[in-house]
Structure 1
């Protein structure tokens, strides 16, 4: 009899290879990168106090409101910023990649978009993946070896890519408990360490063998380890990024219809990863009147002065009542 772990591995490989009836091909999408016109507007940290630039332990450097008439634009849930700040890649939970190239001020902060492209998200056969159950990409990381890692929910899995827009080149087997996540509450956050370790966060799954928080999984030395993220105040993890010293910064979001959206950034000390219960420290939390939406994507740049620039982007769900925001913060060394 096949074990649950074996079944999960087999399903993951079947999904990667694809089979008839599960994948649809976007008309004309095969092998094509489509230019897209993106409009921008300046985003103040606090529209009611334009000079305000401090948010908790962070300094706000600037930001943009991004919009496009292209019907594919939006729903960005993961980002990977260029090391030199020239642009970024984003992944959409509707099944595509977005490339943004920036115009920047003399400090390097984005002030406009100079060029943008949309590329289809593909399976191992090079076929564009468009059916929602398979195209729901949530996390994006560029790995130390140059590959790209994308996490998916609904059909919970991790796929590797050699380049954005290319065919999937592999998969990483996940713990059997990953398959138990709610369809729309899976692996939202992925942190990749310089030594090859990974840290995954579930959006909505209770911690494995614990009632103290939500599930997280650490990939270390070829094995998965169950961890507990202390879910508090109805915030949920949506992205995470690892620092060179082993610390992890986690982006969280909150939403209730009467209250509206909130966002929070917390830092996990590297030593906390040695215990099963993660112990984060608050960096910043914000809500209206500060600029905020459904904040889902996070990446960082390491600066020559030792500071970190944090890039935070929102998922507008392709909803006319929401916005795609890009915010850039500085965390002092």
Structure 2
């Protein structure tokens, strides 16, 4: 009788409940704290890893129970940071020279592939900002869909399920997605799946959208991406010079992450191509390391800046880290040093 009564109460007060706990939504009280970290805790003066120069980093925390799980990142002018979690949660703040988050705002994607009751419905793993109008496109795993939102992420504008992505495994969808500039590329976008190859192929399935990825989702061509050994692509972006930079992740026991960044020349992307990038930096012990899943590129004083964010899987064993590096230009003395 007690079990029956409990079920009736559940149905009464949560009428749409289907047996799975609902993903937590961001609260109205937006609080984010940032604690500084070092590139190498044992050697705090260290400032270089491969072609990257360390500019700083913080561990982000919040009392909000939905905070964390960040899988996508965008940094706008004025250091306005937007983080998107793999549950459709949004965190935004402006980061000053003192690394203190200001003008903090929390939110949740207003629409998506499912009802939002379970992670499988709201698994947003990537994000790109359309350079034409500032609208945001998020890539969803499991549904293998792309959804477009207004620049403020408050309203959905459209969605597409590209035929090329229809067969991507449920949890290995558009882990990486970026828009391409018109200059050099002619516009469009690229999506890379996390683990599976094209049928009969090798590496990771990738698709180059030659038109708008939401309005013309089936216009484009396939190619394959070969990540570093035992690694999976977790995000990518376009550098100011038009090259692609891909963030790759490898997990090893007893709980260690290794992240390798590779650069791909624009000319390497063509129909049917099998593409490998040139490795420029690797984050691994004893350097700071985590489950980095988001990358963004900006410009400061004529130099290229790279930002990384980690997905803590909302686990007490992991951290939400935001890192900032300067990328040395090709041929810069010392740019290949470890």
**TM above 0.5, one fold?**
yes
Q: What's 2:84 paired with?
A: 91
In the alignment, structure 1 residue 175 sits paired with structure 2 residue 163: yes
Secondary structure of the residue aligned to 1:206 is coil
- 1:15 corresponds in structure 2 to none
Structure 2: distance between partners of 1:300 and 1:34:
29
Partner of 1:220: 210
What is the aligned partner in structure 1 of residue 29 from structure 2? 35
- Written as runs of structure 1 = structure 2, the 5 A alignment for 1:263-278 is 263-274=259-270, 276-278=273-275
Question: Aligned pair in 2 of structure 1 residues 57, 84: CA closer, same or farther (>3 Å)?
Answer: same
Deviations 1:26-64 (A, max 9, x none): 8997xx972322221111001010000001011010010
CA shift, 1:156, in A, is 1.2
Q: How much does 1:209 deviate? A: 4.0
Residues 71 and 85, structure 2, Cα contact 8 Å, conserved in 1:
yes
- The reply on whether 1:118 has 2:112 as its aligned counterpart is no
Pick the aligned partner of 1:185 from 172, 176, 179. 172
| Mapped pair 1:246 → 2:242 | yes
Cα deviation 1:3-30 (Å, max 9, x = unaligned)? xxxxxxxxxxxxxxxxx999x9x8997x
Deviations 1:236-295 (A, max 9, x none): 111110134431000111102236111111100011113611131111012111111100
Query: Displacement, 1:115?
Result: 3.8
Distance in 1, matches of 2:125 and 2:264, equals 21
Of residues 88-97 and 275-284 in structure 1, the stretch that sits farther from structure 2 once superposed is 275-284
Question: In the TM superposition, what whole-angstrom CA distance separates every residue of 1:222-245 from its partner, at most 9, and x where no partner exists?
Answer: 522111111331111111101344
Which protein has the larger Cα radius of gyration, Structure 1 or Structure 2? Answer: 2
Separation (CA, whole Å) in 1 of partners of 2:259 and 2:234: 10
The answer to whether the 8 A contact 2:112-2:122 is kept is no
Conserved in 2, the CA contact under 8 Å of 1:249 and 1:267? yes
1:204 matches 2:195 = yes
TM-score relative to the length of structure 2 = 0.82
Tell me the distance in 1 between the aligned counterparts of 2:234 and 2:157. 25
Corresponding residue to 1:330 among 323, 326, 330: 326
Q: Which runs of 4+ in 1 moved over 4 A?
A: 26-29
1:100 aligns with 2:88: no
Instruction: Give the superposition deviation at 1:124.
Output: 7.1
Q: Secondary structure of 2:282's match?
A: strand
State the shift of 1:77 in Å.
0.3
Among 32, 38, 42, the residue aligned to 1:44: 38
The two structures have a TM-score, normalised by structure 1, of: 0.83
Partner residue in 2 for 1:230: 226
Q: Does structure 2 conserve the Cα–Cα contact (< 8 Å) formed by 1:37 and 1:115? A: no
Aligned mates of 1:154, 1:131 — CA distance in 2? 12
* Cα contact 1:33–1:117 (8 A) shared by 2: no
User: 1:104 aligns to what SS in structure 2?
Assistant: coil
- Which residue, 279, 284, 291 being the options, matches 2:281? 284
In terms of mean alpha carbon deviation, does 42-51 or 188-197 score higher? Answer: 188-197
Instruction: Indicate yes or no: 2:128 matched with 1:141.
Output: yes
Call closer, same or farther: CA 1:179–1:201 in 2, change over 3 Å. same
Taking the aligned partners of 2:307 and 2:173, their CA distance within structure 1 comes to 22
**Which segments of 5 or more consecutive residues in structure 2 lack a partner in the other structure?**
1-15, 330-338
